[in-house]
A and B are shown apart, each in its own frame.
Chain A
């Protein structure tokens, strides 16, 4: 157990719909990262938040948005869903870098299926 929680575990929805994925980082971690992993694919970085502010953006579609709240939990909103959005969505958190040492702790993921 990494200490990072994600809900829901599974989500099945239809094309055109909107969903919200939730992530609670480990206690004390200020950074939250969102990744998308399609079947047998690598981890595609979507976005990073640090202490409530957007820190870095990856290949995140305009239909997707995220935010980090004052209690440091984060939500990833996916709208106008398409079949190709079906994937595993991971959240990860990390402490502020200790020197150059800053591993990421991943949550169990949310499996999104768009029908």
Chain B
């Protein structure tokens, strides 16, 4: 079945440092979504990438979708304590099908 792998599992940074998490799918995806889960909270949708090579920005967050539509990354510039949480990527093989989530990257930010 489809697998989505995400690295690293944990990342500790000092406030102000950059952070990147990487996501790789075993199969070509229709789209990839990113979610953030704060400690004690529920996953919250951040963004969806659909096109090959797509890059989207949300303030300090930059999301990329690979040319082959099998990998993706999330980069946070100059982390802040509000960025703390677990970031999940989730891939869909076809639009409307089930999401396959990566294991998540747990980000801690030291002030």
Contacts and interface: CB of A to CB of B under 8 A. Distances in A.
B85 interface: no
Contacts of A42: 88, 101-104
Interface string A33-57: 1010000111111001000000110
Interface residues of A, number: 29
Interface of A: 2, 31, 33, 35, 40-45, 48, 55-56, 58, 90, 92, 96-97, 99-109
Given A92-B43, A104-B43, 8 more contacts: A33-B98, A43-B88, A43-B101, A45-B100, A102-B92, A104-B33, A107-B42, A108-B42
17 contacts: A2-B44, A35-B101, A40-B106, A41-B103, A55-B98, A56-B98, A92-B43, A97-B96, A99-B95, A100-B30, A102-B48, A102-B92, A102-B96, A103-B45, A106-B43, A106-B44, A107-B42
